[in-house]
Structure 1
Amino acid sequence: MTKPVRYKRHRFPPEIIAHAVWLHFRFPLSLRLVEEMLLERGIVVSYESVRRWAMKFGPSYARRLKRKTPSPRDIWHLDEVVITIAGQQHWLWRAVDQDGYVLDEIVQTRRDTKAAKRLLKRLLKKQGRPPKRLITDKPGSYAAARRQIMPAVEHSSHKGLNNWAETSHLPLRKRERAMQGFRTPGGLQRFVSVFSAVRNLFVPPRSRRSALATHLHRLNAMAAWKSAASIAA
């Protein structure tokens, strides 16, 4: 059983810390804007404190969030996006399923077969089973990696088929602009691991888009977030 999150030696109550971390990862807000939103509620806390809370508690919350159960019917959409860090290009490789749920992300300096193989190996280890089908865009690195890692899995490569993966980059691009970029590859990796876990929790699956279903989904998501943060619902 996962142990509760510990807040010892922190001046602010857990509810405030969890709310600040939620604001930081859930919305495209700068740390200073989170500071301002808290001030509007009468909570005087510096943006540096919000940053430290996000770094310390964000990963703990994300680990405690329930993950989607893998299915043999899953379809993995794979794509990569370039992100410039300190003047150097890095590639964020991402896998999402047919519902837009982010399965995994990995920051790498390469955009080749070796990098694609690393992503597929991580996915297999994390998911515990191969997908029904892979969908990618045209780079041959995906096909080469698939032949070596999961040769029995069907693979479709066509630019128009991979919109789910390409669309999944947009929320991170908004956050990148709000944060004025990322400073280190490790910082980007740590951020996306929490950012995507929070997004997976709060964004309804594409199959449930009615107003009532969306409302219920968000209520359940908030309850799950409070449980992960070890605070009262």
Structure 2
Amino acid sequence: MIPASEFTGFRFPPEVIVLAVRWYLRYALSYRDVEELLTERGLTVDHVTVYRWVQRFTPLLIDAARPCRHTPGDRWFVDETYVKVAGRWIYLYRAVDQDSQVIDVLASEHRDLAAARRFFTRALSHGRRPIEVTTDKAASYPRLLDELLPAAHHVDARRANNRIESDHSQLKTRLRPIRGLKRIRSAQTVSSGHAFVQNIRRGHYALGLDTDPHLRLSAAFTELALAV
């Protein structure tokens, strides 16, 4: 039997849904902005519907693209930044490699050993054990790296982590128009989706490679819509 598409039962066709999701993840737009852009194209979609599409289909698109993802590099830069959720600041663990591929993202209420372990467990599932890991001076990292990556060289020198700190700023630019995230799950979805889009645009997926770089993201989402 042919498995049913995840788009089955939705009033709008897959092309409209993935377009809305792509716009939201790629550009500094609010859900209401996406609603307005769709209205200009003759499509009446409530901003709450756009929110539901983003929350539902972003993880599905990321999973569908997993076989096409390039293996991360062997030098990792790990750091945490802050995101406000329901009026409270939470931590966002992020890592990039030497080629600026975003390895993974994890939203957490706490900045401790348990959260760092969850993050590294997720990051290591992408198929590469790094030979060098650069972090800030958080006390949890030396103990955790000795446990999970004893052979890796740990760097925590001042300013050694500028690569990931610079990458944080691109995510912050994307989050600025959002009128407050309400749930940690939303923060996880949007930040993971942003990383996913950045990785496609930077050529870290075997998707849309035969198209103009400016059209790579659009071509990739069109391919993925057929696999969801």
Match of 1:34 in 2: 34
Q: Are the structure 2 counterparts of residues 57 and 121 from structure 1 closer, same or farther at C-alpha, using a change threshold of 3 Å?
A: closer
Give the corresponding residue for 1:195. Answer: 194
Contact 1:62 / 1:198 at 8 angstroms: preserved in 2? no
- State yes or no: 1:222 paired with 2:223: no
**Deviation of the 1:23 alpha carbon:** 0.6
CA RMSD of aligned residues (A): 2.5
- Distance in 2 of aligned mates of 1:84 and 1:175: 13
Note if contact 1:24-1:34 (Cα within 8 Å) is conserved in structure 2.
yes
Q: Is 1:74 matched with 2:74?
A: yes
Aligned length, in residue pairs: 221
Comparing 80-89 and 147-156, the one that deviates more: 80-89
Distance 1:110 1:196 in 2: 21
Equivalent residues in 2 for 1:1-233, closer than 5 Å = 5-66=5-66, 67-70=68-71, 74-124=74-124, 126-204=125-203, 216-230=212-226
Give the share of equivalent positions with the same residue, in percent: 34
Aligned pair in 2 of structure 1 residues 59, 138: CA closer, same or farther (>3 Å)?
A: same
d(CA) in 1 for partners of 2:70 and 2:54? 27
Deviation at 1:19, TM superposition (A): 0.8
1:194 deviates by 2.2
Structure 1 counterpart SS, 2:212:
helix
Q: In 2, are the aligned partners of 1:116 and 1:141 still within 8 Å (CA)?
A: yes
Q: Distance in 1 between matches of 2:54 and 2:220?
A: 18
Higher mean alpha-carbon deviation, 113-122 vs 97-106, is at: 113-122
Closer/same/farther in 2, CA of residues 114 and 10 from structure 1, 3 Å limit: closer
| Runs (5+) with no aligned partner, structure 1 | 206-212
Aligned-residue offset at 1:112: 2.6
Residue type at the aligned position of 1:134: V
**What TM-score do the two structures reach when normalised by structure 1?**
0.84
Q: 1:208 corresponds to which residue?
A: none
Can you list the C-alpha shifts for 1:161-218, whole angstroms capped at 9, x where unaligned?
211211221232123221122111122122222222122112457xxxxxxx9x7334
- Aligned equivalents of 1:152, 1:18: Cα separation in 2: 42
1:165–1:64 CA distance, 2 compared to 1 (3 A): same
Residue-by-residue CA offset, 1:75-126 (whole Å, 9 max, x unaligned): 11100012232233321111111122111111222223332222222222x1
Structure 2 length as normaliser, TM-score? Answer: 0.85
